[in-house]
Amino acid sequence: MIIIKYILNKICKIQIIIILILVLLFLCHKAMRILKLITIGYITKNLAIILIILKIPEIIQIILPISIIISIFITIQYIHDSNELLAMYSCGYNKNIIYLTLLIISIFIMIFTTINSMWIVPISNRYYCQLLFDNKQNNINQLVLGNLSNNIKNNDIIFNKILNNIFLIKIKKNKYYLISTGNICNFIYKKKYKLIILFNGNNYYYNLLNQNLVITKFKRYYLFFCIKNKKYNLLPNQLDLKQLIFNVNNQNINELHWRYNLILSIPLFYLLSTTILVSNIKKILGISLVIVLYIFFFIIQYLLRINITNYSHLLMWLVYLFYLIITILIKYLTKNLSL
């Protein structure tokens, strides 16, 4: 029991470091995409920080299996090079102690991955997209005439309240901008409508086709428009286990089986990596093979996930079965080898 605790402690410490490194690498990639939204004024810095944090569970879902494979390799290699493994064998232990230790950590990682994939990741994806959706509906940006085309889309209405001035920008079927500026006389916000009254301002009418700009002055200008109650439709990656089961369609079926395969890939690759580690083949070459196999497994499963057909989920299980056969063959071929 002491030996198991010792190995588990070593693996967990190394895995935490690896996870932190990989999470930071993936977050940098996600952050670059989110920073682009900040530069065009689509989101604020505070919202960007929240969006980056909400992406962490999804990143962990991807990197957890590969991080534990690397941490197991480093740990076993360390206790082998420091002759600790030889000392264990001298005390009457055999390689089964390693199998048992990795089995225990495999079970814990599977439980965590199940909770994370089935509930935590969908909730974080839901809030992530909901925040972007709400931000789009109530987008407050600082705009200048020179970069309007980078900030708004068809039929978008964007307000910019700076002191007592307000800008209303609207595109009508990609034909013109209508920009109204002036002092706010009144601003009424209700659930079903908004009413803005401007005075002593200007209307800027910019034709996108011939690029003509017409400026007119006004003493009082009424901006009235209704608010449509839009509901955000959940995507398959935002549905938890219960929602996926009770909302059956091809997309949801693919998403559900993708999560099943992701969870079951953990014991599969643990068995594969452990088989290589307790054999006499070159460890670096062997663990590199496991990592490459996992990357290909993840890519194939992901492509089947987004390829919505009636047979995509069946192909996912065929891929898993193929990898299981490879694992059994490798274990059979190396069964007589030891560290």
pLDDT score of 6 more than 90: no
The single residue listed with the structure tokens 């995507």 is: 235
Kindly indicate the confidence band of residue 27, based on its pLDDT and cuts at 50, 70 and 90.
confident
pLDDT score of 339 more than 70: no
Q: SS3 of 1, please?
A: coil
**pLDDT, average across residues 35-44:** 70
pLDDT score of 133 more than 90: no
The rounded distance, in Å, linking the Cα atoms of 324 and 12 is 26
pLDDT in tens, 216-253: 888 887 766 555 555 557 889 999 999 999 888 888 99
Higher pLDDT, 101 or 136: 101
Q: SS3 of 310, please?
A: coil
Q: SS3 of 44, please?
A: coil
pLDDT score of 20 more than 50: yes
Residue of 7, 23, 22 lying closest to 73 (CA atoms): 7
The rounded distance, in Å, linking the Cα atoms of 269 and 277 is 12
pLDDT at 336: 56
Q: SS3 of 41, please?
A: coil
- Is this prediction's pTM over 0.85? no
Strand duo 213-226 + 165-171: pairing = unpaired
The rounded distance, in Å, linking the Cα atoms of 111 and 228 is 43
Write the single-letter amino acid at 262: L
**pLDDT, average across residues 311-336:** 87
The rounded distance, in Å, linking the Cα atoms of 198 and 318 is 65
The CA-atom distances, in angstroms, between 171 and each of 103, 146, 158, 176, 177 are 60, 15, 10, 6, 5
The rounded distance, in Å, linking the Cα atoms of 280 and 194 is 74
- Per DSSP, the residues of 150-182 read GT--TT-EEEEEETTEEEEEEESTTSEEEEEEE
Write the single-letter amino acid at 259: R
Give Cα 136 distance to the centre of its chain: 20
Residue 26, phi then psi, degrees to nearest 5: -70, -35
pLDDT at 286: 75
Residue 122 token pair: 């969908």
Neighbour count for residue 217 (Cβ, 10 Å): 10
Residue 139, phi then psi, degrees to nearest 5: -85, 120
Q: In what order do the strands lie in the sheet with 193-207?
A: 157-162, 165-171, 176-189, 193-207, 213-226
pLDDT at 168: 57
pLDDT in tens, 160-209: 444 445 555 555 555 666 777 777 666 666 656 667 677 888 887 777 77
pLDDT score of 96 more than 50: yes
Kindly indicate the confidence band of residue 118, based on its pLDDT and cuts at 50, 70 and 90.
very high
Q: Residues 170, 177: contact at Cβ < 8 Å?
A: yes
